[in-house]
Amino acid sequence: MRDHETNGPASPARGGILTRRSLLAAGAVGAAGLLLTAGAKPPQGDWQTRTWDAIVLGAGAAGLGAARTLADAGRSVLVLEARNRIGGRMWTDRTSMSIPIERGAELVHGSTVSTWGLIDQLGLMTHRQTKLLGRLRPETPWIDGFHYESWQFPLGAPSYPNGLPAPTSGETALHWLQRVGITPDNYPIMLAAIEVDTEQFDVLPAKEAAKTIETALKYQGLTGPMPPEEYGDYRVIGGYDQVLQPLVAGIPLVLNAPVHTVDHAPGHVEVHTNRGTYSAKSLVVALPGGVLKHGDVVFNPPLPPEKSNGFQAISYLPVFKGILEFAHPVLPAGHPVPQGWDILTTFSKNPPSNWNASVGTPGFTGEVVVSWMTGGKAQELLDLPESQRFAAALDNLRTATGDQGLQYTKSSTYDWSKDQFARGAYPGPFSRWNANGLYSPVDDTIFWAGMVTSTVAWSRDTGVDAANSVLAALAGR
Q: What is the 3-state secondary structure (H, E, C) of 201-235?
A: CCCCEHHHHHHHHHHHHHCCCCCCECCCCCCCEEE
Whole-number pLDDT of residue 228: 82
Q: Please state the rounded mean pLDDT for residues 132-146.
A: 96
pLDDT confidence band for 434 (50 / 70 / 90): low
Whole-number pLDDT of residue 62: 98
Q: Which of 231-240, 308-317, 415-424 has the lowest mean pLDDT?
A: 308-317
- Is residue 295 located within the same domain as residue 164? no
Whole-number pLDDT of residue 429: 72
pLDDT at 114 over 90: yes
Q: What is the CATH number of the domain that holds 57?
A: 3.50.50.60
- Is residue 195 located within the same domain as residue 247? no
pLDDT confidence band for 231 (50 / 70 / 90): confident
- Is residue 35 located within the same domain as residue 161? no
High-pLDDT (> 90) share of the chain, %: 83
Q: Which of 37-41, 340-344, 413-417 has the lowest mean pLDDT?
A: 37-41
* Residue 299 placed within a domain: yes
- Is residue 210 located within the same domain as residue 250? no
Q: Please state the rounded mean pLDDT for residues 81-96.
A: 97
- Is residue 169 located within the same domain as residue 305? no
- Is residue 433 located within the same domain as residue 309? yes
Last residue of a domain, one of 185, 202, 218: 218
Q: Please state the rounded mean pLDDT for residues 89-116.
A: 96
- Is residue 310 located within the same domain as residue 434? yes
pLDDT at 28 over 70: no
Whole-number pLDDT of residue 30: 37
Is this prediction's pTM over 0.95?
Answer: no
Whole-number pLDDT of residue 166: 97
152-181 per-position pLDDT tens digit: 999 999 999 999 999 999 999 999 999 999
* Residue 308 placed within a domain: yes
By the 8 A CB rule, do 451 and 463 touch? no
| Integer Cα distance of 445 and 442 in angstroms | 6
* Residue 249 placed within a domain: yes
* Residue 330 placed within a domain: no
pLDDT at 25 over 60: no
Residues whose CB is less than 8 angstroms from the CB of residue 412 and which lie 6 or more positions away in sequence, other chains included: 93, 96, 97, 101, 103, 322, 323
Q: Give the residue numbers spanning the domain of 164.
A: 147-218
* Residue 233 placed within a domain: no
pLDDT at 133 over 60: yes
For the chain, give the mean pLDDT. Answer: 90
pLDDT confidence band for 234 (50 / 70 / 90): very high
Amino acid at 286: A
pLDDT confidence band for 35 (50 / 70 / 90): low
- Is residue 56 located within the same domain as residue 190? no
pLDDT at 17 over 60: no
- Is residue 50 located within the same domain as residue 86? yes
| Integer Cα distance of 255 and 275 in angstroms | 9
Closest CA to 177 of 216, 139, 135, 207: 207
Element (H, E) at 466: helix 456-475
| Integer Cα distance of 353 and 61 in angstroms | 26
- Is residue 307 located within the same domain as residue 447? yes
- Is residue 300 located within the same domain as residue 246? yes
* Residue 462 placed within a domain: yes
Which alpha helices (H) appear in 110-205, and where do they start and end? 115-122, 173-179, 189-192, 194-197
Q: Which of 41-45, 63-67, 140-144, 408-412 has the lowest mean pLDDT?
A: 41-45
Closest CA to 376 of 421, 315, 418, 423: 315
Whole-number pLDDT of residue 9: 28
* Residue 209 placed within a domain: yes
* Residue 359 placed within a domain: no
- Is residue 84 located within the same domain as residue 34? yes
Q: Which of 11-15, 314-318, 393-397, 418-422 has the lowest mean pLDDT?
A: 11-15
Last residue of a domain, one of 218, 234, 263: 218
Number of domains in the chain: 2
- Which of the pair, 258 or 428, is modelled with greater confidence? 258
